[in-house]
Amino acid sequence: MGRFTRIPADTFEQIQTDAGILLYTFDPNNPDTMKDEDIICPTTGGITAACTATYSDMGDDVDNCPVNLLELKHLDSWECSLEFTSLGTSPRSIRLALGAADIDTNDPTHIIPRNALKVTDAQDVWWVGDRADGGMVAVCLKKALSTSGFSLKTTKSGKGNTSVTLAGHVTVDTQDEVPMEFWSAGPAATEPGGEESGAE
């Protein structure tokens, strides 16, 4: 075997397994407090979490300046999102896919789209997945709001599904925050009474 044909000793601990779940609320310090009602919807085809920085080169128009001079690189923004295909048709999951919508207080089976966006339409959404060592990986998309709308695709003899894209946002009060945060914890940190810090 070649000198450079090897993997890190802790590879097994780092591998994320299975599709994971989407949650309305989650406490990464107390993962066992998760409840069934926190689960947003069943999904198919896995879940994509993405957080990409956009940069500009401030030396772009400066004569004799090297391209990609790190000192003149400017981080403009972060684009963070969760994309998934939902198999759920609960009123709450339909409202999430619509974005600007309300669930009728007089008839909780009735979801009403709106022509105006409210700050309260955005909410934190979590994806939580297993690690091969028994730990967990978690992603929180902050101020998540649907940017793809509601589009139900049915088949003759299969399951209907809805493609959903949630984009993270900042507010006037949180302009300096990145709208996605991450956790990776080994099994000691995810068990009741675990003393591990959770960051690995």
Kindly report, residue by residue over 97-119, the tens digit of the pLDDT. 999 999 999 999 999 999 999 99
d(C-alpha 192, C-alpha 183), whole Å:
17
The pLDDT value given to residue 106: 97
Number of neighbours of residue 86 by Cβ within 10 angstroms: 23
The pLDDT value given to residue 194: 56
The pLDDT value given to residue 12: 86
Q: What is the pTM of this model?
A: 0.88
* Cβ pair 15, 142 in contact under 8 A: no
Tell me the pLDDT band of 73, cut-offs 50, 70 and 90.
Answer: very high
- Identify the CA nearest to 78 among candidates 167, 171, 184: 167
- Which phi and psi (to 5°) does residue 4 adopt? -105, 20
> What share of the chain in percent tops pLDDT 70?
94
